[in-house]
Amino acid sequence: MTLHQRTFARIAPMRAKLVFFALLAMGAFLSWRLYDVQIVQGPLLAKEALDQRSDVVDVFARRGSILDRDGNVLVRSLPSESIYAVPHDLHDPNSTAQALQKIVGKLDPSTLEELHDKHLWFVWIARKVPHEIAERAQALDNAGIQLKHEDTGLRVDSAGQMASTVLGFVGTDENGLDGVEYAFDHTLKGTSGKVMLETDQFGRALPFGKETIIKVADPGHSLQLTLDSYLQFIAERALEEQVRTYHARSGTAIVMDPWTGEILAMADDPHFDPNTFWKYSDDQRRDRAVMDAYEPGSTFKLITAAAALDSGRVTTSMRFPARDTIEVGGRVIHNAEDGFMAGTGGSETLEQIIEYSHNVGAAEVGMTIGGRVLYTMEHRAGFGEPTQIGLPGENPGIVPPPAEWSDSSLATMSFGQGVSVTPIAMIRFYAAIANGGLLMRPRIVEAVLDQQGHVVTQYHPLIERRIFSEKTAATLRHFLRSVVLHGTGDPTAQIPGYSTAGKTGTAQIVENGQYESGAYVASFIGMIPYERPKYVIFVKVEHPIGSYYGSVVAAPAFVKIARAAMLHAGMLPSGVLAENIPGANPPKIVARQKNRKKRE
């Protein structure tokens, strides 16, 4: 064997050993590295990898529904879809924009500009649209137009425009913006949750990707209102008919349970569709029942009568001079020329002043009892302060204290001039007459319910205070009955088979501190049945044309609502004409004009 051969024989095993040990070391290193990556750092690296391809998104809590007193759904939230564009994938932005505008309406200039930017991967087109709109967008079969499913967002008023000014509306993200939706937003909207999803580069969830719930969404509670859908419908139709007949500017009607303070109906005209609220003006969306204060006119005479009787300074037998004009503090006060002029040379009682709605007589009563007594009753009755009904934007009205009165203020306030009140404040006062003298807090919400319909919070009747005695209340109801039987409410506020009571009102409209010529508010506030009223009903029509007397413009709506309410309650008419139902004999005003002018 040569030297070369012997040398090679020694080197080959050495190389093999080196290779073996090198491979062994490499295997050990890889095994250690594999152990380190998979076992030691495995959870951390897996988390970092997941973080790179995952996104934490909010899970919006389903907004609670709004129900009527019988559990019928008025408003609810439904799943919706949103439309977005991927400009990078749009082949013809101009034609795409034209097609989209036929589906969702006009697009913002900024959106149109973004559709032409090929560097963009995401542009909102329309948020939370109905399913049929989303389907039309999907039917374009355009790779650059995509849909995003939304768990919430489509707030649907199933009743359409009914009670719209009371219910209000929500924005795109389901935040309450007006009405009950705004006032009880914290109750309805619930608490959003959070979930981690595996997503692609565009933020879209990967099919079968990992989903981790971080925080469970807590759905909002539902509200059960005191509204009766049937009475609400009747009130809106009756009010609308009078507003249209007399080409009026607006109107308000309220139905209240005088024993509980529950608002059974609250109608405004004009109203709007909450599903497309942005198409209507602020004026059309106003809840005039709580937001608009007005001079009440003759319906306010019952406050004067209540103060007079409850203070003991005037009795039902006391008589006042019957005249048609009187000068107080340099101002001449007239009776309304409505066919019930007082005449001259005679006298009249407090009942007759109310029955025939004499301004001069009311002024004389006010001056007899004095400013402090009248103001105390106004304050006790809650005028000049919010009723706490719980609806947004409530106007407290204006009832100036005696220190701010002029020489004629006492006289004019006694028949409803120089003060401003809201419809909800007026019906609350008349409810006190109906229930025996108790001032109830008006309620629009009956209960708060969870998602299973279980009661979370139950609201109960709340008596604010007693404002006059039961005897005074009974006397005032008797006065209101006389109004319907023989006074300004005869015969327009009568309902065959039922006994009604109420008061007409006609007042000038104040604009910018001045009385607007030829502009009036016609109103009627009544109750049925007279013996123990189940309903108190308020009707106001603003700026009617053709006639402006409450007996002509507002009382017919009261009759329609009252009759429907009684039938709805299962209380059938007696079959006896209203004027034949036993009541007080018509009192006679001494030397009152025999020939009354025919009312309009």
Residue pLDDT, tens place only, 513-562: 788 888 999 999 999 999 999 999 999 999 999 999 999 999 999 999 99
Predicted confidence at residue 566, as pLDDT, reads: 97
Q: Give the pLDDT confidence score for residue 598 in this predicted structure.
A: 34
- pLDDT tens sequence across 85-113: 888 888 888 888 888 888 888 888 888 88
Q: Which residue has the higher pLDDT, 114 or 587?
A: 114
Cα angle for residues 433, 361, 289 (degrees, 5° grid): 40
Phi/psi for 487 (5° steps) reads -110, -140
Q: Kind of pairing, strands 445-449 and 325-328?
A: unpaired
Report the alpha-carbon distance of residue 438 to residue 463 in Å, rounded.
7
What pLDDT is recorded for position 160?
Answer: 85
Percent of the chain with pLDDT over 90: 58
Torsion from C-alpha of 487, 492, 498, 501, nearest 10 degrees: -40
CATH 3.40.1360.10 fits 229-580, yes or no: no
Q: Say what the pLDDT of residue 40 is.
A: 74
Confidence (pLDDT) at 580: 47
Return the pLDDT at 217: 74
Element (H, E) at 305: helix 301-311
User: Residues 147-156: pLDDT tens digits?
Assistant: 887 766 678 8
Q: What is the pLDDT of residue 14?
A: 72
Q: Give the residue-averaged pLDDT of 4-17.
A: 64
| pLDDT of the residue at 204 | 59
pLDDT of 510: 83
Answer yes or no: is pLDDT of 294 > 90. Answer: yes
Q: Is the pLDDT of residue 133 over 70?
A: yes
| Least confident window among 105-114, 320-329, 462-471 | 105-114
For residues 453 and 283, the answer to whether their CB atoms sit within 8 Å is no
Q: What is the pLDDT of residue 579?
A: 45
Burial 514-538 (b: 16+ CB within 10 A, else e): eeeeebbbbbbbbbbbbeebbbbbb
What is the pLDDT, as a whole number, of residue 148?
Answer: 81
pLDDT > 50? residue 576: no
Q: What is the pLDDT of residue 305?
A: 97
- Tell me the CA distances in angstroms from 220 to 152, 167, 239, 261, 265, one per residue in order: 12, 16, 34, 26, 25
The first and second tokens of residue 337, run together, are: 């020329």
Is pLDDT at 415 greater than 60 in this prediction?
Answer: yes
Residue with tokens 């999803």, as numbered in its chain: 197
Query: What per-residue confidence (pLDDT) applies to 18?
Result: 77
Looking at residue 596, its pLDDT comes to: 35
> For residue 103, what are the contacts with CB-CB under 8 A and spacing of at least 6?
133, 136, 137
Residue 599 has pLDDT above 70, yes or no: no
Type of residue found at 259: W
Handedness of CA 430, 431, 436, 439 (dihedral sign): negative
Count Cβ atoms within 10 A of the Cβ of residue 58 and give its class: 0-12 exposed, 13-18 middle, 19 or more buried: exposed
Q: Where are the domains of the chain?
A: 229-580
Range 316-329 average pLDDT: 92
- 342: nearest Cα among 328, 327, 355: 355
Coil, strand or helix: which one is 204?
coil
pLDDT confidence of residue 207: 56
pLDDT in tens, 165-198: 999 999 877 889 999 999 999 999 888 777 766 6
Residue 339 and residue 307: Cα distance in Å, rounded? 27
Percent of the chain with pLDDT over 70: 86
Does residue 495 register a pLDDT over 90? yes
Percent helix, strand and coil across the chain, each to the nearest 5: 35, 25, 40
Q: Quick one: pLDDT at residue 179?
A: 95
Give the pLDDT of residue 153.
Answer: 66
Under the banding of pLDDT at 50, 70 and 90, the label for residue 4 is: low
pLDDT tens-digit series, residues 216-253: 778 899 999 999 999 999 999 999 999 999 999 999 99
| pLDDT tens figures, 122-131 | 888 888 787 7
Task: Calculate the average pLDDT of the chain.
Answer: 86
Using CA atoms, how far apart are residues 467 and 350, in angstroms rounded to an integer?
A: 19
User: Rounded CA gap, 126 and 150, in Å?
Assistant: 12
Cα 600 to Cα 597: distance, rounded to the nearest angstrom: 9
**Per-residue confidence (pLDDT) for residue 49, from 0 to 100:** 60
Q: Residue 429: what residue type?
A: F
* pLDDT above 60 for 50: no
pTM beyond 0.75: yes
Cα(21)–Cα(18) distance, rounded to whole angstroms? Answer: 5
**How far apart (Å, rounded) are the C-alpha atoms in residues 559 and 527?**
10
Alpha helices in 488-589 (DSSP H): 550-553, 555-568
